[in-house]
Amino acid sequence: MPSISGRRPPDEPSPQVVDDLLDNNRRYASTYVNYGLSARPSLGIAVVVCMDARIDVHAALGLHQGDAHVIRNAGGIVGDDVLRSLLISQRLLGTRAVMLVHHTGCGMLDFDDDELADAVERDTGARPPFALGAFDDLDEDVRRAIRAVVECPYLPHRDAVRGFVYDVATGRLREVVSVT
C-alpha cells in the first residue's frame, strides 16, 4: 500500500535512505526561514504521542513550528525518559499543559513483554534491561499514563493533564476520562 506521499514502503530498507533524507534536508535548508522562535513553546503545552508513522501530530492538532513540545516513543508510554523530558519542558521551558495521545491499531497491543524479551535474549544473549511497555487496553494505558504524570512529584504543573486515543482510520481524537 502506498503512503500518502505516493511512495511505497520498500520490501527491504535501502541503505541509501539516509542519503535521500540528507538530500531532502539540503533542499529544505536552501529555502529555510529562521523566524527566531523561542525554545519555549508558544502554546505552553507538551504532547506525548506514539512514534507511529501514520500520525502526523502537527497536522492532526493544527500545530505550527514553535507551538508545542512533541515527545514521541513507542506507544506514547510515560516512563522515566518522558517524565525527564516533561520536567525539562515545564521547569526550564515554560510548559504547563500535557496532552497524552495513544492510538488505535498500535503495535504495543500486539506483543507480550516477556515473549519479546525472551526472543531478544535468545538472539543476542542479553535480556533488555528496560521495560518494553506492551499493553492490552488502550483506554487503561492512557489512564495509567495520566496517573504517571499527575503523580510525578518533580513536575510543577500536573493539573492540566489530559489523555486521548487517536483513531488512525478517521484522524479523530477521543478523550479518555481519568478514573481516580
Residue whose grid cell is 495521545:
101
DSSP 179: P
Amino acid at 96: R
pLDDT recorded at residue 15: 78
pLDDT recorded at residue 1: 45
Q: Using CB atoms within 10 Å of the CB of residue 15, give its burial: 0 to 12 exposed, 13 to 18 middle, 19+ buried.
A: exposed
Distance of CA 147 to the CA centre of its chain: 17
Distance in angstroms (rounded) separating the CA atoms of residues 135 and 94: 31
pLDDT recorded at residue 98: 98
> Could you read off the pLDDT tens digit of each residue along the chain, which spans 180 residues?
445 556 666 677 677 889 999 999 999 999 999 999 999 999 999 999 999 999 999 999 999 999 999 999 999 999 999 999 999 999 999 999 999 999 999 999 999 999 999 999 999 999 999 999 999 999 999 999 999 999 999 999 999 999 999 999 999 999 999 876
Distance in angstroms (rounded) separating the CA atoms of residues 85 and 69: 9
Any residues with CB less than 8 A from the CB of 35 and at least 6 apart, and which?
65, 66
Domains of the chain: 37-176 (3.40.1050.10)
